[in-house]
């Protein structure tokens, strides 16, 4: 059996997601900038809920499987992190080169987090079921929704950005396990 290399696998999944994100930016511009962070969270919820439904029912009536949904989760989480950091006066339409640079910046932060946690957890995700990864993403979404409902305030918990970062990493794990 070939040795698994998380760095290489992560980079391959992200390259696929990034390519799609950049192409959509060129097609649509940054129309997603009109969305409030809570609306982006709801979009991520819809994608994760669809994955769970497909995992349980094993049939898709619209012909798309779970791979595009996990990719969507990754890209919507990047959008959410960008929305959280961009000042209110930032124009809705961003230059595609700036979007590309900001995307890479966010993903590099997520990648660093992945390897810090992966070191501590010993790549436990490799022994998890994809359905458990889906459930963890749904739990993180519900946490974000609660934090948003609390206007960003937490007593002892990590903030919204950390939850988006974790969702990206979980979605990457699922895509690796599913063979993207």
The 10s digit of each residue's pLDDT in 73-88 is: 999 999 999 999 999 8
Is residue 148 within 8 A of residue 37, CB to CB? The reply is yes
Write down the pTM of the prediction: 0.93
**What's the token pair of residue 104?**
């890479």
pLDDT of 3 reads 54
96-147: pLDDT as tens digits: 999 999 999 999 999 999 988 887 888 889 999 999 999 999 999 999 999 9
The number of beta carbons lying within 10 Å of the beta carbon of residue 143 is 18
Tokens of 128: 């998890």
Q: Where are the domains positioned within the chain? A: 6-177
CA–CA separation, 77 and 109 (whole Å): 13
Question: Quick check: 48 and 127 in contact, CB under 8 A?
Answer: no
- Interhelix angle for 6-28 vs 96-121, to 10°? 160
């Amino acid at each position: 059996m070939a040795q698994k290399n998380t760095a290489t696998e992560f980079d391959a999944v992200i390259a696929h997601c990034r390519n799609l994100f950049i192409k959509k930016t060129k097609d649509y511009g940054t129309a997603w900038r009109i969305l409030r962070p809570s609306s982006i969270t709801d979009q991520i919820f819809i994608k994760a809920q669809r994955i769970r439904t497909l995992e349980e029912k094993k049939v898709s009536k619209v012909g798309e499987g779970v791979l595009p949904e996990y990719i969507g989760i990754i890209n919507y989480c990047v959008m959410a992190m960008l929305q959280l950091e961009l000042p209110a006066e930032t124009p809705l339409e961003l230059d595609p080169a700036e979007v590309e640079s900001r995307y890479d910046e966010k993903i590099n932060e997520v990648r660093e987090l992945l390897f810090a946690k992966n070191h501590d957890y010993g790549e436990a995700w490799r022994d998890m079921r994809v359905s458990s990864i889906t459930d963890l993403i749904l739990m993180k979404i519900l946490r974000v929704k609660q934090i948003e409902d609390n206007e960003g305030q937490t007593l002892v918990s990590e903030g919204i950005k950390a939850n988006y970062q974790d969702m990206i990493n979980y979605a990457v794990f699922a895509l690796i396990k599913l063979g993207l």
